[in-house]
Amino acid sequence: MALRRSRARIVVVLLSLLALGACGGRQPTEPRPVESIAGTYQLTGVDGVALPRVVRDLGQCEGTGRPHIHFVRDGTLTLEANKFTAEHVLVDACGTVQSHVATTYTWRVKGTYAYATSGMQMQITESGAYAVDKRITMPQYSAGQVSFTWYDGLTQRSYRLTFTK
């Protein structure tokens, strides 16, 4: 009889240990709060290259023989209350990025954004005079940087713009 009680106690202890092991002794995980990404960001790169960034070589300017280029000079991205405004300045220049005669164009778009632990979404709702095509794809946020791919209908190219807070 004493032997049966010992075995029964051993079985109860083993079952208790197994039950504790299955629970892992951990507390239930709570959802991680999504950090606020609102604020103003400065354009710091185009296609992974620092500004100013030549995005199009058009050969030579008429009558001068100087290079005819388009380059991105600067830009900003403002995120607030699930809305965004993004702009960048494209310079149409005869010369180089350091010394040129130029016309500047400001590409400006506005829209809505959503950010969650699963990722970021952006949708353009309004564009300025020079925002020829309304396409922003693959938006991402990571460690104080927002980046997305912008399709420029004028140059007919896509650029990866990176903004840093």
CB contact at 8 A, 113 and 85: no
Which one, of 146, 150, 163, 162, lies nearest residue 37 by Cα?
A: 146
Which pLDDT value is given to residue 157? 81
- pLDDT at residue 6 in the model: 61
Mean pLDDT per 10-residue interval, the chain, length 165 residues: 58 52 53 76 96 92 89 94 90 86 85 90 80 76 92 79 95
Percent of the chain that is helix, strand, coil (3-state, to 5): 15, 55, 30
What pLDDT, on the 0 to 100 scale, is given for residue 146? 96
